[in-house]
Each structure stands twice: as C-alpha cells, then as structure tokens.
Structure 1
C-alpha cells in the first residue's frame, strides 16, 4: 500500500511538473512575440477577419490593414478608418462623410486598440502549448489560452506564432455561444518608411465632412 501511495505521489508530481513546463514554454513564446514586435520602430499588417456561427447562420469575411508605431495607429477596416495620434481618436466614415473625434483613456480596460492584440493575454488566462502546423512554408506553433474567469464569454483563444520570426500569424477566438472569430495575418512588415504625418489627422483632406466632437 505504501509503495502504491509513493508511486501515485510520484506520478502526480510528474504530471504537475509537465504541466508547469508546458505553461512556461507557452508563456515564453508569447513573451518572445511581444518583445520582437516592440523592438520594431513600426509595424504594418494586412489581415483577414472572419466570423462564423453555424447556429446563427453567420459566415462573414472582411479584410483590413493597420499601421502601428508606439501607441499610435491607423486602422482601416470595413470601410472605416480609425486614427489615433497619441491624444485623440479620429473615426473617419467616408460613407457618411463624417469624422468623430474622441478622447482616448489608457486606463480604460475596455478600450479596444490594435496594440492590445499583443497584450490582452497577459492577465486572466491559463496557458498551454497546442498543435504545430505547416502553413505555406511557415511553422506555426499555437498557444491555447483559457480564461480563468467563469464570467468570460470566451471559451478559448488560440494564438498562432511563426516559430522562425516570432511574428503573430493568427488569432482564433471561440465563444461559449459557438461563435468563432479568426484574424489571419496576410503580410507582416516592419520598420517601414512612413511619412511624418502618417498618424496625424489632416482636416483639410475632408473638406465636406461633418466633424463631430464626441468629448
């Protein structure tokens, strides 16, 4: 009986140790991705975004692009341009010929910015290594994130990272309601020769637009 207990304790210790190693490897890979991205002066990404829910008969796909430099960004997605110059957020809607200017609050945990794709997982998740896939000559290692809060409406998130470049390749989020959203990076460029006014709102470019100051 004592021998059995010793073996059981040993097996449990090995399982716990293996789980800890997997968690450490997963966290280390995520940290490498973040560090590599932050090392660049700027990052320009073309991406594809899809949302799917069989039960709700939702199957949509869109394309977009984003340029990021520090905390500044210009995001073009679904016909809308969102520009943040470090102080104000400018939401430009050509279809309505309208520009909405609002403040950005860094302390607001619910604020959504492109940069959060590289930081959202730092709190509130369990980490584990998932599958490895070959995609177009790239080796993509997936890290599975499982929310630690039962209130989180996300079931799990898979972050796919190129093992050679340490660049993000894909982000797959599965909700508890069955909705699956996928962001796939088509091109990842860095240290691009962007103009000095790339992250500056130039009102003269929108002479007939209604300027709505939300704050």
Structure 2
C-alpha cells in the first residue's frame, strides 16, 4: 500500500511539474507574440536550411536559401525562392518572374502541405500544439531559449517544432520543424527591423503594370 501511495504521489508531482512547464512555455510564446505583434510592421530577413538523415542530407551540405518578409497585421510581402508573395488581407498574389506568371487566390497560404510559413510565425502555435520548455543555448553570443511544440494531431505531417527565442529581446530567432519523413527545416532570422516607413502600395499589386510586361495572370 505504501508503494502504491509513493507511486501515486510521484505521478502527481510529475503531472504538476509538466503542467507548470507547459504553462511556462505557453506564457513565453504569448509574451513573444504580444511583443512582436505590437510593432506597426516588421521586416525580417531569414535563412532556410534543410537536412534529412535518412536521405543522407546533412545541414550545411547546401548553401542556405535566403528570403525576406515584411509583415503588417495580416498583410505581408514575401520574397522567397525567387518568387514574390503579396497578401493584401484578402487575396494572395504569387509573382513568378522567371515564368512571367501571376497567380491570384482568395485567402492566405494554408498549411495543408505540413509547412509553417514565415508569415505564420506569430500565430501558428495558438492552435493544435502542446508545449514544453526546451534547452537554453548560447548561439552566436546570444542566449536562446527553446520551446518545443508537439502537434496534438497524431497524423500531422509535422512531428515537432522547436522555437528558439532570444532571452533578452523576446524575439524569435530560430524555427526548427521536423517532418514525418524525418526531414528537418530550419529558419534562422538574420535581421529584424520594426516600425519601418513603407510605401502606400507596398501590400498591393499593380496588375496593369504586369499586363504591360506581358505577364500571364490567372
């Protein structure tokens, strides 16, 4: 009977500790989201790397893919993989300059392909994840507190997400996403500027201009 009581007490303490760590992790994420979301806008430069141990691809085998996104509320202007993505709050415009094509869709990019886009950095964690505090690491002379997010859906294409948060600025520094195919995608924020002065039409597209340039518009 004494052993059962000790086991029950141990499980109870473990549950309480896990709950506290989970609340601590969520509190930190909320603090980061509130701080970064309070900016009038943000210009973020990032580097993306990919690794997959099963396929023999190690991080660093290929040079990083660099991109840049400017966020203002729900709107964004993203340059990534040679394409420009402009979301004006209602429609998404994807400009492929190589093919001289523009595709227009209603609504923002979804996550149907199991990928967290840079435009979702401040909001993706709010639904569908459990949280726990990870390691505190020293990266590039900065103290980075990691938070691990585990999808509630066991069939999710995402197995795990690790968010690295600068302990001093409370800005997101790194996002590491592990997929069900063991691939690991890492986004590292290389620059962050807030409250920039932007042109009035920065989050809109002049279709007439592109028609004159003989772009195909879908």
TM-score (norm 2): 0.88
SS at the partner of 1:118?
coil
Please report how far the alpha carbon of residue 65 of structure 1 lies from its aligned counterpart in structure 2 after TM superposition.
0.2
Whether contact under 8 Å (2:173, 2:189) holds in the other structure is yes
Moved more, 118-127 or 77-86: 118-127
In structure 1, distance between residues paired with 2:107 and 2:180? 30
SS at the partner of 1:14?
helix
Please report how far the alpha carbon of residue 113 of structure 1 lies from its aligned counterpart in structure 2 after TM superposition.
5.7
Counterpart of 1:88 (choices 91, 94, 97) is 91
SS at the partner of 2:18?
helix
Please report how far the alpha carbon of residue 204 of structure 1 lies from its aligned counterpart in structure 2 after TM superposition.
5.0
In structure 2, distance between residues paired with 1:103 and 1:124? 24
In structure 1, distance between residues paired with 2:132 and 2:35? 20
Aligned to 1:49: 48
Aligned to 2:214: 209
In structure 1, distance between residues paired with 2:90 and 2:157? 31
Aligned to 2:105: 102
Q: Does 1:173 align with 2:172?
A: no
Q: Does 1:63 align with 2:66?
A: yes
Aligned to 2:10: 11
Paired residues, number? 211
Moved more, 129-138 or 5-14: 5-14
In structure 1, distance between residues paired with 2:142 and 2:29? 17
Please report how far the alpha carbon of residue 105 of structure 1 lies from its aligned counterpart in structure 2 after TM superposition.
5.9
Counterpart of 2:148 (choices 134, 139, 144) is 144
Q: Does 1:78 align with 2:81?
A: yes
Change (3 A) 1:211 1:113: farther
Please report how far the alpha carbon of residue 202 of structure 1 lies from its aligned counterpart in structure 2 after TM superposition.
2.1
Change (3 A) 1:4 1:55: closer
Q: Does 1:121 align with 2:135?
A: no
Whether contact under 8 Å (2:163, 2:176) holds in the other structure is yes
Structure 1: 5+ residue runs without aligned partners?
none
In structure 2, distance between residues paired with 1:140 and 1:63? 21
In structure 2, distance between residues paired with 1:177 and 1:31? 30
Change (3 A) 1:120 1:196: same
Whether contact under 8 Å (1:46, 1:64) holds in the other structure is yes
Q: Does 1:132 align with 2:136?
A: yes
